[in-house]
Amino acid sequence: MHTALVQSSAFNRTSADGTAPTASAGMPVRAQPSAEQIQARKDQVTLLAHALEEGTWTREHAMQLRQLLAAMTVDDRRSAMSSVSMAINDGKLKLKTPEPF
């Protein structure tokens, strides 16, 4: 059996003005975060800053973070959980709850 590799013509196209393909040519475009997602990220940064000032991560912090995570973009969720984890691992936050997230 002979198999041929076929490349999508969308990757070989240019628009009339010679620019690269756009979403209309089948190229993925990352959506901009909504106002709610942006606010959730800002609130998470504030939450972590306050916890760092106190030096502890409590059940209340974890509950607030869970609510904020639900409104964040996937990338912001990863970043938020990583920031909290690193602060705990670096000894900047003392964990006062069995579940930090």
Q: List Cβ neighbours of 48 (8 Å cut-off, separation of 6 or more).
A: 80, 83, 84, 87
Residue of higher predicted confidence among 66 and 14: 66
pLDDT for position 61: 97
Instruction: Report the half-sphere exposure of 91 (CA within 13 A, side-chain side).
Output: 0
Q: Answer whether 84's CB lies under 8 Å from 100's CB.
A: yes
| Whether pLDDT at 21 is above 50 | no
The proportion of the chain whose per-residue pLDDT surpasses 90, expressed as a percent, equals: 65
Beta-carbon neighbour count of residue 94 at 10 Å? 13
